[in-house]
Structure 1
Amino acid sequence: MIGIAGANALLAYDRDLSSSLRMVELLREAAAGRHATALAGLRGMVLGIAGADALGDVRCDGELRRLQANFPDRYTNIWALNATGRITCSALPVAGAGTYAELDYVTAARRAQSFALGAFKIGEVSGQPVIVGAAPIIEDGEIKGIIAAGLRLDAFLRRTPEGTQPHDIWLLDGQGGLLAVTQAPPDNLPAPAALERLIAAGTAAADLPSRNGVPHAFATLALDPDLRLLVGMSNAPIAEGAWIALMQRLGELAVFLAVCLAAIILGSELAISRPLRALSQRVRSWRPGEPFRPARGWSAPLEVEAVGAAFGQVVESLTKRSNELQAALAQNDLVIAEMHHRVKNNIQVIASLLTLQAARAPDVASEAALAMARDRVRALATLHRHLYARPQIEAVGISAFLAELGPQLFAAAGELRPGRIHLELDVQDMEVLADQAVSLALLVTECLMNALRHAFPHGRGGVVRVSVHLVEGIVTLAVTDDGVGREGDPTSGIGLTLIEGFAAALGGRPEWGGPPGTSLTVRFPLREATARPLER
């Protein structure tokens, strides 16, 4: 629709521009009617005199004088020529007896054997600007003479103040002479070559630049075979008016387009954008476990309502599935907690059996080996108890676990009385996954048991320190004592082999230090759970 309106505006602009051609053709017809009247009167009078038998030699001058006196403002003179071209009678007195046989109007009338016009000239007798019309006197098929009359050029002229006429009019004679009927400057004419093409085209009208470069519309018409009318008018006012009209139409079109765009934007805002924003806001504000309800109080397109309804169905399905998964997870936690509880109980039974077996050992070495096995088993039992006692059964809080495991090992070694060996714990609170917690518990158990057995002989007192810290995902475990230190190769023996195995399971390796005393440091990355349980 916008394209059609724009095309109509351009067509109207072209139509306004072409109106100058139609207007100049109308002006041409009006001017032709006025000037043709003067020529028709001249032609009728000359042909009438030439065909009259009453014009004789005696009354010739008087007859012509009386006839000219009837039209003093139109004709300057009326005269007759004999066959040789000499004046035989004239309305005005004639001085001399020259011949006019070679004048253009005489030759034109003889050649046409009918009425003919001459060129624009100054009359030989009247001395005024005229155009001469002539007709032959024919008797028995022979030209006996010529009747001629000088038509004042003032009969064609229109005197208007300079610059006020809306158009220009010229007359062109058969010799190429130009007469400006209006006060038209010569620069308003078309170029000579363009003027020749225009005359050759006959009655056609054309847009042509004038000699001063201003666009004009020109039209011509033959008033007589030897006289042509040329009418011209400037296109500038019409072009300016057409341009103003085009700008007005385009402005109206732009306003209409702006109103349409505003209506489209407002409509899309009310019907699409606002409902979508409301739906987006409700989606963002929705939280798992809450129902998703359609908005109230606003009208939305069916498509947006369908999207909201589909999202509500998805939420309903997800909520149902989430409830099912949470129920399954809760059941799984119960099963695992029960499993850890039973494992802990079984481990306690094993520890009790090891205690009984150690009491009946045949020698001290066997008793010590069984006691160490019992302590390792008790460490695992403690770990399982911490696992099933926590909400998240796949991880254990290492601080609370070591705070219980250390005194338990000291009690098993008989070092609970104050004053001899002290246990110092510097453990950062963190959660360790169950698989790493098992290796960590056995590693700490092995280190503490070695320190209690070997670092403080013969009643010697001292301090055993356990520190665990996490820095940028790396856990540093350090177990140190201020005892007597180790003798010989510290990397041999079954206990040391177990320590290396537990450290490797954690993802690190043991680093020994001392004297004074003995220190063991293991650095390993803290693993995170690959999956998190749903919030319950």
Structure 2
Amino acid sequence: MFDTVGARVMTLIAATTLPLAIIASLLAWHSYQQNVGNSAMRTERDTQLAISEITTDLDQTHTLLDMLADGDISSGNALREFALVQTVSQHHYCMLMLTDVSGRPSVVLPPPSTQDAAICSSPELAAPAMSSQTVRTPVVGVDVLKGDRGPLLKFVVPILSSNSVSGYIIAVRTLGWQRSHLPKGDGRLLLGTDNNSRHFLAMPDGTLYSLFPDRPVTAELPRRAFARLKRDIASLSLHDVFTSQGITYAFQNAYGPVSLIVATERTAEESHALNIFLIRVSLIVGLLVLELMAVALGARLFLVDPLEKLALAVADWRKGAAFAPRISHSIPLEIRHLEKAFLRATRRLSKHEQDLEQSARNQDMLIREIHHRVKNNLQVVASLLNLQASRIRSHEAREEFRLVRDRVRALATLHRYLYSESGLSALDVQSFLEELCSILLSANGMNAQTRIRLQLDIEHVLISPDQAVPIALIVTEVVSNALRYAFPENRAGHIVINLHKVVPTDPEKEGLVELKLGDDGIGINAGQATESRTRREGIGMQLIRGFARQINADMTVSNENGTWYTLRFIPERPSLTALAMARKAISHGKDSGV
């Protein structure tokens, strides 16, 4: 992944740029969090203000009712006292009632006629317990009732006379306030005036009501916020503040099982801060992406492309072309220096390769010239032997000279075939044996139209120079002996030479070839008529066996229907010529060095 120059440059730029981008993002996030913190603080402040007003109002209610109970209240003045209390409390009471000691009502002050009846409506207030016929001793204390517009509080205060209870004052009022009854300048009017803030009273079952019953609202919380509210109620939590879907919620116990919930949405300033944060983050990310793209493009144009051109030029040079990267001068100086260094190195290498090839070519020419001169010298020796043999009167001595002459001619012919133009220092045995046999037939005064026919079946097999000499002399001995002794008294026949590749049974003898040569003449045993012939043929057999050992051949001799020699051997791998070895070394050096 990071092997290319472009990737490494981009990684380096990203490593140097990311810290700055992270710092800028953190600063933007801190600014946004400050505004979010302000929202939470504002929600907390509204919650505490509402709780403070509720607590103060309830304290005043307790104080006022206690004053009524401690005063000289009776059925005669109760209605006047209740009307005064209702006026002082801004008509927050749904009912004020005076009962006797048994709980039978004697004076009842209903809610104002101008008030919405639903505000003080509750199934628990409509029960028979409030009927004048009901006789039930009231329970002193405060009960929370579930009304149609919100929670209602039922206060029961005993009236003591001579240390005994003579009656009860029962008051029912809303936990919240009616905005229409609050005087101007009242601090409670500030609650909920902000359109981004809403105040709710939550019952234990999760039902939500507006803090101001005369201003009912549809109170539905998002699923996550409602689940958090239910969890707080179930765990009897007294206080909780959380943010869900951009709205900050404050949960606070208001009175008894009733809780106050204040939901505050983002203000214009907070939304602006969020937008600024998103814009800053987008700008940072966008600038970073643009910077990386610009760096990638610049690295591609000024680093990667020149280096790729260098690599392609080197690859072409390895294939034999001239090193020519064609790099623009607008690239960095270091890459231009690298180009010049490559150019100097490739020129020197090319010069050395040319010198090496020329030296190898000269060496091949010298070796070819040596073979040519050896061939000429051997031909001169063969001519001298032939000339000397013609002057000898002894038939036996003349035959010996001719045998030596044939061997020398075989070596001369061999040296003409030893050096190949194919790049291998090897003998093409097929062409060589055809010419050698023709020379032997001509030397013995025979040709293709005579009574002795030559049959050749030779595959194309390359033989190394070390094996070529013994094979040439083996063929010379066998053919010469066959021409001289196998077909006496003008007998007709065939001399056969076969060379084939065979499939060995042993895997270690891969490449095995079989050379089978002989004649269908009278055979060795039948031809042993004189002592001189036996001696000559014995020397020839010794030479053949000796040459067979030189090429590590397994030889068998058969006298069935003539004389047959079968040699099985593995040809040695031909060696390369000096020029071929030089070119191979140059090619290997380019492949492994670049």
Establish whether TM, by shorter chain, passes 0.5.
yes
Post-superposition CA distance 1:475-521 (Å, at most 9, x none)? 43332323222216999812111112222323323333453233323
Residue 528 of structure 1: SS of its match in structure 2?
A: coil
Query: For 2:472, which of 441, 462, 467 is the aligned residue?
Result: 441
Post-superposition CA distance 1:322-346 (Å, at most 9, x none)? 2121121122123223322332333
Cα distance in 1 between the residues matched to 2:257 and 2:424: 118
Matched, 1:515 2:560: yes
Cα distance in 2 between the residues matched to 1:449 and 1:530: 31
Give how far 1:60 is off: 6.3
The number of aligned residues is 466
Equivalent residue number for residue 91 of structure 2: 73
Cα distance in 1 between the residues matched to 2:69 and 2:326: 108
- Does the CA contact (< 8 Å) of 2:140 and 2:158 recur in 1? no
- Does the CA contact (< 8 Å) of 1:46 and 1:133 recur in 2? yes
Equivalent residue number for residue 548 of structure 2: 503
- Does the CA contact (< 8 Å) of 1:42 and 1:133 recur in 2? no
Give how far 1:432 is off: 2.9
Cα distance in 2 between the residues matched to 1:58 and 1:445: 162
Give the 3 Å change call, closer, same or farther, for CA 56–462 of structure 1 in structure 2: closer
- Does the CA contact (< 8 Å) of 1:427 and 1:468 recur in 2? yes
Query: For 1:156, which of 162, 172, 176 is the aligned residue?
Result: 176
Write the mapping of 1:110-509 to structure 2, written as runs, cut at 5 A: 130-131=154-155, 152-154=172-174, 156=176, 168-169=200-201, 194-195=235-236, 198-199=237-238, 204-205=239-240, 218-220=251-253, 230-232=259-261, 263=293, 267=297, 279-286=310-317, 289-296=320-327, 312-359=343-390, 361=392, 363-387=394-418, 394-416=425-447, 418-470=449-501, 473-487=511-525, 493-509=538-554
More displaced 10-residue stretch of structure 1: 395-404 or 275-284: 275-284
- Does the CA contact (< 8 Å) of 2:418 and 2:426 recur in 1? yes
Cα distance in 2 between the residues matched to 1:289 and 1:17: 71
Cα distance in 1 between the residues matched to 2:317 and 2:438: 50
Give the partner amino acid of 2:564. S
Cα distance in 1 between the residues matched to 2:575 and 2:241: 90
Residue 220 of structure 1: SS of its match in structure 2?
A: strand
Give the 3 Å change call, closer, same or farther, for CA 271–190 of structure 1 in structure 2: same
Cα distance in 1 between the residues matched to 2:448 and 2:66: 165
- Does the CA contact (< 8 Å) of 1:46 and 1:135 recur in 2? no
Higher relative contact order (CA 8 A, sep 6+): 2
- Does the CA contact (< 8 Å) of 2:159 and 2:169 recur in 1? no
Give the partner amino acid of 1:154. T
Cα distance in 1 between the residues matched to 2:157 and 2:421: 134
- Does the CA contact (< 8 Å) of 1:380 and 1:438 recur in 2? yes
Give the partner amino acid of 1:523. R
- Does the CA contact (< 8 Å) of 2:47 and 2:252 recur in 1? yes
Equivalent residue number for residue 10 of structure 2: none
Give the 3 Å change call, closer, same or farther, for CA 44–78 of structure 1 in structure 2: farther
Post-superposition CA distance 1:217-275 (Å, at most 9, x none)? 621368xxxx797314799x9xxxxxxx9xx98x989x979968994996577677766
- Does the CA contact (< 8 Å) of 1:477 and 1:523 recur in 2? yes
Query: For 1:531, which of 576, 581, 585 is the aligned residue?
Result: 576
Cα distance in 2 between the residues matched to 1:189 and 1:394: 99
Residue 553 of structure 2: SS of its match in structure 1?
A: coil
Give how far 1:104 is off: 4.4
Cα distance in 2 between the residues matched to 1:356 and 1:362: 12
Give the 3 Å change call, closer, same or farther, for CA 153–69 of structure 1 in structure 2: closer
Structure 1 unaligned segments of length 5 or more: list them.
106-117, 123-127, 138-142, 160-164, 173-178, 209-214, 238-244
More displaced 10-residue stretch of structure 1: 39-48 or 498-507: 39-48
Give the 3 Å change call, closer, same or farther, for CA 430–171 of structure 1 in structure 2: closer
Give the partner amino acid of 1:31. A
Give the 3 Å change call, closer, same or farther, for CA 12–530 of structure 1 in structure 2: farther
- Does the CA contact (< 8 Å) of 2:521 and 2:561 recur in 1? yes
Equivalent residue number for residue 54 of structure 2: 35
Equivalent residue number for residue 176 of structure 1: none
Cα distance in 2 between the residues matched to 1:219 and 1:34: 13
Residue 154 of structure 2: SS of its match in structure 1?
A: strand
**TM-score, normalised via structure 1 length:** 0.63
Cα distance in 2 between the residues matched to 1:289 and 1:180: 92
Cα distance in 1 between the residues matched to 2:75 and 2:469: 162
- Does the CA contact (< 8 Å) of 2:43 and 2:263 recur in 1? no
Residue 323 of structure 2: SS of its match in structure 1?
A: coil
Give the partner amino acid of 1:512. V
Cα distance in 2 between the residues matched to 1:293 and 1:448: 62
Give how far 1:435 is off: 1.8
Cα distance in 2 between the residues matched to 1:270 and 1:134: 96
Superposition CA RMSD, Å: 6.0
Give the partner amino acid of 2:92. R
